[in-house]
Chains A and B, each alone.
Chain A
Amino acid sequence: MPYHEFECSKCIPERKKHAVIKGPGEDLTSALPLGYLNTIPGSISERGCAYCGAKHVIGTPMKDVIHMSHGPVGCTYDTWQTKRYISDNDNFQLKYTYATDMKEKHVIFGAEKLLKQNIIEAFKAFPNIKRMTLYQTCASALIGDDINAIAQEVMDEMPEVDIFVCNSPGFGGPSQSGGHHKINIAWINQKVGNVEPKITSDYVINYVGEYNIQGDQEVMIDYFKRMGIQVLSTFTGNGSYDDLRAMHRAHLNVLECARSAEYICNELRVRYGTPRLDIDGFGFGPLSDSLRKVGLFFGIEDRAQAIIDEETARWKPELDWYKERLQGKKVCLWPGGSKLWHWAHVIHEEMGVEVVSVYTKFGHQGDMEKGISREVAKKLRVPYLNAHAYHNGPWKGYEGWVRFARDIYNAIYSPIHQLAFVDISKDEIATDTKFVTQKILSDGNVSEEVKSSNELREYTGKYDNLTTIREKTYPEYPLQKKLSVV
């Protein structure tokens, strides 16, 4: 096994199996690091806790909900300033964050009374919101507060409200991944099947494992709606609490991030017989394949093909403009969750960059299998790309993939990298050279033919491409009232 011991981990031998170098001729049966491990203290040990994985990753993207943490106020740190899961209701779930503000005295005397008071106060402060998720934290779990009982008491007194209890304190798993698991299972156990939805299409899906980072979900929903598909719920980005209680009525679960949400898909398959189809919204090829598969499942592949043709014709020349300028550039991938394996191959194929390493902070061995199988990883001196919570998205969809290429281009060819080599305290500053632009830097190695191409062009989309989607109307496909999906 080609384990790789980093210099900084030499004094922490327990980490020996945390990294591998996959060489030529080696496959998954000979190169796979351990995963889903308890954190071993030392350098590079920061990760999210199980509470974070449940609330800040999966719970809070639900948009029409008061997300209350029962614990110290610091547990609610992650909100609009760190999280990018926006919503089409003015980002209610990001703008407001709630904690019961537990202090030492509550640890000694209990905090159930405080919790109840906070829940009622929050509902009164936002009278239009009737749904709440309630999260256990390390502090409240250790003193044994019965938050289920308090939630039930409030629901008995306020029958118009509904509360979901997530019991995933920070210590409840090795990393945020443990919290993903807990909230998946808690949601299907407590809430799925409680609401009967209005079915408006012959083709009904749940879109699972999608968190609407910078609008990704809205871009994908646009494609589904154009195909005449009813998206019953999104788990959970831009998703609605009551829609997610009706997940059992979908004909198909379309799964994007398997790391964070395969549990609920697998359980929906076991309990309700709903099949799971893994899809990928990143990259022209994977996205086109994904739309085609969903179309095939419902027998409407012609509708999928029309979207693929239209979008490819519109955006491919722009993707290729960047590809020509990114050829051979080396990148390390350090994204969150599913992007590790979603990007590992396609970013090379469609943008021309060379992926030299893949890394995951909370992935399981299964995630590393997916990543390693797609690339030979080798450690070289290269800059890395951190693309966990991007700010210039959406990056999903055809246009989004071009935006991603543009952002990589902007990063690699930023003149700042040249300027950073100059030490103004001692170096002589040249005054006879002009300022260098990105295009001067990028086009130095590009052929005349490419530079003068009439087909290729830089990104021409708008800074805000979501407003148009939100205002769109869609073709109507009358319900045929089929008895079965197939």
Chain B
Amino acid sequence: MKDKVEQLVDYIMKKCLWQFHSRSWDRERQNKEILTKTMQILCDEPVEKETPTDKCYWVDAVCLADAFKSRYAWLAAMDKVEIKLLMQKLKDRMDYLTVTGSLNEELNDPHY
């Protein structure tokens, strides 16, 4: 499982732009919203996309889910419970790398 999580982290780090917003509260929200919606897409669950804000997160989630499915064949062999666990571990790892373990001293600046 750890190896799988690292493969997904590697993809996000190399290909995405949404995980490095400038403040910790932004990064937490980005990680939570986009990775939750990605998990819902991968598990065929309904996704909130009625407001412009949700729609914007959903857009990144659609592209991420497509990329995961096309690049990582092992994903197709996992059941929904396993995918949920995988995505939770992915979110925990992203939170660590970009928020709680980050060395970026500007993350907690109270203003934009």
Q: Which residues of A does B touch, CB under 8 Å? A: 1, 27-29, 32, 34, 36, 185, 251-252, 258, 262-263, 266-267, 270, 273-280, 285-286, 289, 292-293, 296-297, 341, 345, 364-366, 369-370, 373-374, 484-486
Contact = CB atoms under 8 A, between A and B. Distances in A.
B52 A486 contact: yes
A29 B20 contact: no
Contacts of B97: 27-29
A365 B56 contact: no
Contacts of B50: 486
Contact of B102 (A29, A274, A297): A29
A292 B63 contact: yes
Interface string B61-98: 01100000000000000000000000000000000111
Contacts of B106: 36, 364-366
Contact of A366 (B20, B62, B96): B20
Query: Which interface residue of B13, B14, B17 has the most chain A CB atoms within 10 A?
Result: B17
Contacts of A297: 55-56, 59
Contacts of B108: none
B103 A365 contact: yes
B4 interface: no
Contacts of B3: none
Interface of B: 13-15, 17-18, 20-22, 26, 49-53, 55-56, 58-60, 62-63, 96-98, 101-106, 112
B21 to A, nearest CB: 8
A486 B51 contact: yes
Contact of B14 (A252, A262, A374): A374
A275 B55 contact: yes
B59 A280 contact: no
B59 A267 contact: no
Contact of B17 (A34, A280, A486): A280
A230 to B, nearest CB: 16
Contacts of A36: 106
Contacts of B58: 296
Contacts of B101: 28-29
Query: Which interface residue of B13, B53, B62 has the most chain A CB atoms within 10 A?
Result: B13
- 3 closest Cβ contacts across the A-B interface? A275-B56, A29-B101, A278-B17
A366 B52 contact: no
B104 A277 contact: no
A202 to B, nearest CB: 13
Contacts of A262: 21-22, 112
A29 B103 contact: yes
B63 A485 contact: no
Given A262-B22, A341-B17, A364-B104, 8 more contacts: A34-B105, A273-B52, A276-B56, A277-B60, A292-B63, A296-B58, A297-B55, A374-B13
A266 B18 CA distance: 13
Contact of B20 (A270, A286, A370): A370
Contacts of A1: 103
B59 A28 contact: no
A29 B93 CA distance: 11
A273 B112 contact: no
A293 B59 contact: yes
Contacts of B22: 258, 262, 266, 364, 366
Contact of B55 (A34, A373, A486): A486
B41 to A, nearest CB: 12
Contacts of B104: 32, 364-366, 369
A341 B13 CA distance: 10
B102 A369 contact: yes
B51 to A, nearest CB: 7
